[in-house]
Amino acid sequence: MDQNALKRQVAQAALQYVEPGTVLGVGTGSTVDLFIEALAASGIRLAGAVSSSERSSAKLLAAGFAVLETEAVEVLATYIDGADEIDPRGHMIKGGGAALTREKIVADLATRFVCIADASKCVDVLGAYPLPVEVVPMAVPQLIRRFARIGGDARLRAGCVTDNGQQIIDVSGLSITDPLAMEAEISQWPGVLTVGIFARHRAQIALIGAPEGVRTLRF
């Protein structure tokens, strides 16, 4: 099976975690695009969705779902989103689609994070995928230097402006053996809006698409 077929597998499997009549948290990315298509085809009725990006909001609206602002909800039962990497404890790297800040905001509203990904995203230690960090443009040069001091090669993502009007730097060369500690540390650096380590907001459930079928991991 090709990667797209594996993504379709998990997108379909995620429907079992959608509670009809509730407000659903919806993430961003190619796997989530397929999930939105599967959700629309399923006929499941929702009270609405809280989306993590303009991209996903447009797809949800086109599929006939109401998109709500965060002020309309106090808690979400479930947030469904993908990952660029996920480790054996449910910690993730996210932000390849430049939506990490809004993804973390929506994840914070949710009681349950369901990660949908193909098996290529599973790693023993986070960091092979360059770590996205959303930053205030003024801070880019000093943050590049600061990452260099901890062994990271940080580079500005060319041509990228986030939905929040900020920039992304991608940091390669890191081995993130303690995701919670690194997330807490980098989050305090001046100029960092959001770091793409999802340790505090890790997945509770991961649906992993593999040639032998969908594996369900619980953390």
Give the Cα separation of 120 and 86 in Å (integer): 10
Catalytic, out of 85, 103, 134, 183? 103
Q: Give yes or no: 103 in active site.
A: yes
Looking at the annotation, which residues are catalytic?
103
